[in-house]
Structure 1
Amino acid sequence: MTHKEALDILSGLGISARKRWGQNFLCDESVVKQIVEAARISPGSSVLEIGPGIGAVTDKLVQTAAQTLAIEIDPVLAGYLNDRFSDNETCRILNRDFLDVQPSTVIENIGMPGTVISNLPYNQMTPIIYKLIEDYPDADTMVFMVEEDACDRIFASPSTKSYGALSVITSAYGKKEKLFNVPSNCFYPSPHTNSTVVRFSGNEGQRALVPGYVNFVREAMSLRRKTLLNVMNSNPDRVMNSEKTKAFLENRGFQITARAETLTASDFAELFELLRTDI
């Protein structure tokens, strides 16, 4: 698909790209091919695509013979995709905001997805990733297109400016890889920054921690200037075991005044397990 083809589709539908939904449509066939190849899809497997837009990636997914559910928030584009893929029995289009879609709806359509693909809108990237990790922990592979600065947050190290809950929670899912960069001119309209395609590969041992883990990390990282102990004890609805937390910090060589941003993803996982009876 070229920029002109993308523009022609939108013009034919009587719409333009909408900023409120972060719409920048991928128009480079070689990038589309790389994304689908990175997802390592097998014929007959189940794929969840979030934000298919004008269907550049969806078209390639259909060619893999995978059972595909594409969830599109834009009603006009969802209608266009329904018409475009109406003759394909392996592809279903759902006009919904993904953040409002229950896992049961996805499972009713394609079963539990083994693969997730999305060109993530920057303004909704974090809640979408959190929801995916919480609701679909059994997915083997997740491939995302993210803006460059968002990529920095995903791969940040402890005690750095970009390090936060997103860095920790994505590590809990499994292995993270930066695959390749995508210039802004590969999209229509062109965004103000380049993008990066990343892949998460699920790790069974770590994913066992998912129930309750996302909220635990988000709360711990919510007040970066407070000590970990103070953050843990600041929620009146949750009784944290201070002695366990203190012992944890001391046993791993941390000061009692340590902030959450100094802990690694492994540290968070161990602390979560230690406090599970108190959470």
Structure 2
Amino acid sequence: MNNCIYKGHVARKRFGQHFLHESTIIDAIVRAIHPEQGQAIVEIGAGMGVLTEPVLKRIDSMTVIELDRDLVTRLSSHPFFKSRLNIIQQNAMMVNFAALSAARGQPLRIFGNLPYNISTPLMFNLFRYIHVIHDMHFMLQKEVVNRLVSGPNSKNYGRLSVMTQYYCHIIPVLEVPRTAFRPVPKVESALVRLVPYSKLPFPVNDFSKLAALTRLAFNQRRKTLRNSLSNLFSAQQMAEQNIDATLRAENLSVEHYCRLANLLAERPVSQD
């Protein structure tokens, strides 16, 4: 595939770069984000600044995270952006969002057109900072958004569904056609809003147990729970949690996974 040159910039495939250019879509995204003066706004993957500029027309300053140094140079030399952007040239996976929030003295409002190749690990990473996040608006592969919102008994329901629904209320906002980007991606996209719960519906005592449990179950999603979780629970123990051991990973609700995670957390730590 040939490199795509857009506005003088060669889109880097390794960074998963696809730049929004459709003005009606850009306007709709900014309206959905609804940035307001004084808020701690953070954009992940500012790119050409097509979302940055209309957001900055509503507020005085914001933080942008951009890994591509050529794009950082563009952003830092842009006459409208000068002195109004706090630019962090870094992989978003390495950014300390808690420190960003502390510097602003308030929770963060995060948005971005996320590269498809890092969207899922990046969201898992952001869950580590959920206590300092007010909300998130992300452009994602439509298939990923479908997985985020899916409930039990669906092919799309998986570990990402459980982990995201544990932390956030999820609202699909806007479907975006492939033609709204340059270069044109092979997949459709969608904008989604993630709003962290002020009070978790099904709190777990040790989140690492939920993470491990869902990984184990969904890595063997074709097996019954009796088989996939046999090293952790007996069929009797599952039955005590109102869980049928003949079901599969995709049949359990978020609440059921949280119950099992808490059961796991209650066990004494082995001294071996």
Alignment TM-score > 0.5, same fold: yes
Matched, 1:22 2:16: yes
1:266 is matched with 255
Distance 1:249 1:179, change over 3 A: farther
Aligned residues: 260
Q: Render the CA deviation track for 1:170-208: whole Å, top value 9, x for unaligned.
A: 111222111111111111111122211111122122285
1:247 is matched with 237
Distance 1:112 1:79, change over 3 A: farther
Match of 1:51, as an amino acid?
G
Q: Structure 2 matches for 1:228-247, cutoff 5 A?
A: 228=225, 230-232=227-229, 234=231, 240=232, 242=233, 246-247=236-237
Distance 1:195 1:136, change over 3 A: same
* Alpha-carbon offset, residue 227 of structure 1: 3.8
Separation (CA, whole Å) in 2 of partners of 1:133 and 1:37 = 25
Corresponding residue SS for 1:106: helix
Match of 1:131 among 125, 134, 141: 125
Q: TM-score, normalised by structure 1?
A: 0.81
Distance 1:34 1:22, change over 3 A: same
Match of 1:220 among 209, 214, 217: 217
Gap runs ≥5 in structure 1: 1-5, 235-239
Contact 2:35/2:59 (<8 A) preserved: no
Q: Structure 2 matches for 1:94-109, cutoff 5 A?
A: 94-107=88-101
Matched, 1:47 2:44: no
Match of 1:169 among 152, 163, 176: 163
Match of 2:117, as an amino acid?
N
Contact 1:137/1:173 (<8 A) preserved: no
2:179 is matched with 185
Separation (CA, whole Å) in 2 of partners of 1:52 and 1:270 = 40
Match of 1:74 among 68, 73, 83: 68
* Alpha-carbon offset, residue 215 of structure 1: 4.5
Distance 1:211 1:43, change over 3 A: farther
